[in-house]
Structure 1
Amino acid sequence: MTVNVGVVVRYRKAVTYGVHALLAALEAAGTECEIRFGTTPEETAAEITACGADRILVLWSFYSPDAEAMAAELAAVRELADDPRALHVAGGVHATAEPQHVIDSGWDLAGIGEGESTIVALVEALRAGTPLTAVPGLALRDDDGVALRTGPAPQPPLDAFPSFPAPRRTVGPIEITRGCRYTCRFCQTPFMFGGRFRHRSVDSVREHVRRITAHGLRDVRFITPTSLSYGSPGPDPDLDAVEELLSAVREELPPHGRIFFGSFPSEVRPEHVTPAAMRLLKRYVANDNIIIGAQSGSDRVLAASGRGHGADPVRAAVRIAVAEGFRPNVDFIFGMPGEDATDQRASLALASELADLGARIHTHTFMPLPGTPWRDAEPAFIPLETMRALDRLAQRGDAYGHWRKQAEHSARLAETARAYPRRAPRRRV
């Protein structure tokens, strides 16, 4: 007897892209499910109750700083909808890096790694009544509360699954690259998706654009860890591949269509900003700004973090971008491990210099993110003098960001890291 499986999504703006990819995988696999969305805990509980399926997968996705708040929401949803049909599943970078924490926080399952193959296999296992231990990419709670991991989830080519399913509500940016060869010690991306680039083909991107325009939409954006790396396996940009991509997108768009590339939700590495690259973008894109990852003005801190560039390429990138008609938004992270007062002064001096050139500074506070080499690292102290300097930049309109809130998240993440040591024993099913 086949079990009817429904899906309820705890739908949050911050993580829609990942959820869309899972729903797209179900659609591409021909897996028919009743799909419902809850935009609040109360609405999520109501959708669980209203769902007519025999078994219900409740999908949660969140970043590490949101784990505590999402656990409180989960408890509220369970209290409002204590439904034996429901199986609550957490996915994303935090669940991948900290499955034991996720299981201890109340979820039934944690998704480990890339979720497309896992969600398809999970729905099929529930339909057939087969053991979930055969589903790749999961952590399940054993009788003692230990998170037992199944086999690893596969990492298929990006063309294997769309970035989003067909309904208009779920249309979003096109993921053109997954994984990152730049293994920055503070970043979760390369350690979840792998230390190499996997690029979506131009033909697949064309199909996505046709899906977008079929809904009457005209703007196309992209998800990629480093925009100008598209089509390249290594550190150097392949501008011919980038132009092939952008030209193909333009061909698929109506005359009033717009391309946004190198701006949110992606960025550009500073050493990739050359006059030729900026002129190429100028021929195709609608955005008048680009996001450049600087992260620090200290060569010592940049080397320790594994960024692969120093401060000088950042200066050069901003000058070039401004000269070619773009306003750079430049990311800085304060409080990185080992950072001292000299390093912070170097970052503040560079940030002020770049602002004078015409850039806006996007300020961040270092967070010891799970799954990264710096998960257990101690954030550097940010003195009042540095805080005041950042405030002055913001008051001038030259800086923006939520670095104070991130400082609070950083403290909570450090507490979680201490409670769940990296070397905690893990057993595989």
Structure 2
Amino acid sequence: MSVEVSVVVRYRKAVTYGVNALLGALETAKAECDLRLGTTPGETAEHIAASRADRVLVLWSFYSPDAEAMAAELATVRALADDPRVLHIAGGVHATAEPQQVIDAGWDLAAIGEGEPTIVALVEALRADRPLTGVPGLAVRDGDGVALRTPPAPQLPLDAFPSFPDRRRHFGPIEITRGCAYTCRFCQTPFMFGGRFRHRSVDSVREHVRRMAAHGLRDVRFITPTSLSYGTQGPEPALDAVEELLAGVKEELPANGRVFFGSFPSEIRPEHVTPEAMRLLKRYVANDNIIIGAQSGSDRVLAAAGRGHGSAPVRDAVRIAVEHGFRPNVDFIFGLPGESPEDQDASLRLAADLADLGARIHTHTFMPLPGTPWRDAEPAFIPLATMRELDRLAQRGDAYGHWRKQAEHAARLAETAKAYPRRARRRRTTGG
């Protein structure tokens, strides 16, 4: 017996990279299904209503700060398209960390971990009318509302699936590394994808670029938690591997093609910014800026956060980058747990010094993100004097960021964490 399945995606700009990977996985696995993208809640509901399939699977993906807004959208879509054929599934870092929370918020399923093998297995199970408890990487709503977990999905090599679908032309940055060996206590990446690097092969990257170039695209960007860690498992960059990657990409591009590396949507660790590394980038990349993760000007706070570097390498990195013709965008997080007024002063002083050297400061507020060691940590108080100094840097054109909005998100996340204490979260597993 074969069941016709329609997949409707709540397609949002904020999560296109992750969703594109899922679409690429479905295309690669030839998981047959009708596929529609809803760019608004209303359009998503219209696609559900228009589907003539036996089952309709609606995909949602979001980050933790968006969880509350997405739950409100889900309620809207359910009200507009109340249909027994439909299953709503939430995926991404928030669903992975808080499956019970998303089940309680109204989703039927939560995808836990990496989504590519799960979405393929889920569509195949629906088409074959098999129990979903046999699909790996899910939390399924039990009869009493408990998020019942299935066995974990496998972590496959990155080459197993593409970064985006080819036929639908939803192109974007190529994911070259997943997971992170630097387990910073505020970051969700290593705790969702693992505390080690998994790199896409150069051959796979070149194949991505060939497909993009065949469609007339000439700009290539990359997704990676730390650009100059490509090709290595240790703390030192493997510049030979980076050069092999960049040279290979250039060979696949037309003469007017451009490579962007170490800029958005990725960054470079400060201790990796060396004269040799910057000379290498200068030979291959088109970007005139790089992103450097500093996070704090306090050595004490950096050590507590597990960053693996102090403040001195940040200053050195900015000086070296500027000397080689790059404008650094340097990330700082204010309000990290345990941060004292003296620590904040150290960050402000370093930020001002870096701005004088030619950097732009990207300001953030600490958010207690689910799935991280600091999920339940209390954000440090950010006094008015610190806020005024950040505003002054922004008015000079030396700083930018949405730290005020992040402070609002942080307050909501802290309240939600209290409602779902880590030790009290209900968890059962299937025998599948």
**TM-score in terms of structure 1 length:** 0.99
Percentage of matched positions with identical amino acids: 83
Which has the higher mean CA deviation after the structures are superposed, 211-220 or 259-268?
211-220
In structure 1, the residue matched to 2:85 is 85
Alignment of 1:94-113 (within 5 A): 94-113=94-113
SS in 1 for 2:374: coil
Q: 2: distance between equivalents of 1:172 and 1:158? A: 16
Q: Deviations over 1:200-255 (max 9, x none)?
A: 00000010001111111100000000000000011110000000000000000000
In structure 1, the residue matched to 2:394 is 394
User: Shift of the alpha carbon at 1:31?
Assistant: 1.1
Q: 2: distance between equivalents of 1:169 and 1:348? A: 44
Contact 2:147 2:426 in 1 (8 A): no
Alignment of 1:306-317 (within 5 A): 306-317=306-317
Q: Deviations over 1:156-201 (max 9, x none)?
A: 0000000000135411100000000000000000000000000000
User: Shift of the alpha carbon at 1:52?
Assistant: 2.5
Alignment of 1:142-161 (within 5 A): 142-161=142-161
Q: Deviations over 1:306-328 (max 9, x none)?
A: 00000000000000000000000
The AA in structure 1 aligned to 2:427 is R
The structure 1 segments of at least 4 consecutive aligned residues displaced by more than 6 Å after TM superposition are none
The AA in structure 2 aligned to 1:337 is P
Contact 1:180 1:196 in 2 (8 A): yes
Q: 2: distance between equivalents of 1:107 and 1:356? A: 49
The AA in structure 1 aligned to 2:328 is P
Contact 1:178 1:199 in 2 (8 A): yes
User: Shift of the alpha carbon at 1:406?
Assistant: 0.2
Q: 2: distance between equivalents of 1:385 and 1:168? A: 50
User: Over aligned residues, Cα RMSD in angstroms?
Assistant: 0.6
Q: Deviations over 1:260-315 (max 9, x none)?
A: 00000000000000000001000000000000000000000000000000000000
In structure 2, the residue matched to 1:381 is 381
User: Shift of the alpha carbon at 1:26?
Assistant: 0.8
In structure 1, the residue matched to 2:330 is 330
Contact 1:121 1:136 in 2 (8 A): yes
Contact 2:146 2:426 in 1 (8 A): no
SS in 2 for 1:362: strand
The AA in structure 2 aligned to 1:208 is H
Q: How many residues align?
A: 429
Contact 2:295 2:333 in 1 (8 A): yes
Q: 1:168 to 1:29 in 2, by over 3 A?
A: closer
Q: Deviations over 1:110-140 (max 9, x none)?
A: 0000000000000010011110000000001
In structure 1, the residue matched to 2:51 is 51
**TM-score in terms of structure 2 length:** 0.99
In structure 2, the residue matched to 1:283 is 283
**1:262 maps to 2:262:** yes
**1:404 maps to 2:410:** no
Q: 1:168 to 1:275 in 2, by over 3 A?
A: farther
Contact 1:49 1:81 in 2 (8 A): yes
Q: 1: distance between equivalents of 2:415 and 2:427? A: 20
Gaps of 5+ in 1: none
SS in 2 for 1:350: helix
The AA in structure 1 aligned to 2:90 is A
Q: 1: distance between equivalents of 2:257 and 2:270? A: 28
SS in 1 for 2:372: coil
Q: 2: distance between equivalents of 1:327 and 1:160? A: 36
Q: 1: distance between equivalents of 2:167 and 2:140? A: 32
Contact 2:294 2:331 in 1 (8 A): yes
Q: 2: distance between equivalents of 1:96 and 1:116? A: 14
The AA in structure 1 aligned to 2:225 is P
Q: 2: distance between equivalents of 1:234 and 1:5? A: 44
Q: Deviations over 1:9-62 (max 9, x none)?
A: 000000001101111111111112111011110011011111232111100000
Alignment of 1:229-268 (within 5 A): 229-268=229-268
Q: 1: distance between equivalents of 2:25 and 2:161? A: 6
Gaps of 5+ in 2: none
SS in 2 for 1:88: strand
Q: 2: distance between equivalents of 1:169 and 1:130? A: 32
In structure 2, the residue matched to 1:128 is 128
In structure 2, the residue matched to 1:426 is 427
SS in 1 for 2:354: helix
Q: 1: distance between equivalents of 2:239 and 2:19? A: 31
Contact 1:192 1:371 in 2 (8 A): yes
Contact 2:100 2:426 in 1 (8 A): no
The AA in structure 2 aligned to 1:180 is C
Q: 2: distance between equivalents of 1:368 and 1:56? A: 34
Q: Deviations over 1:130-159 (max 9, x none)?
A: 100000000011111111110001000000
User: Shift of the alpha carbon at 1:425?
Assistant: 3.3
The AA in structure 1 aligned to 2:72 is A
**1:183 maps to 2:183:** yes
Contact 1:168 1:215 in 2 (8 A): no
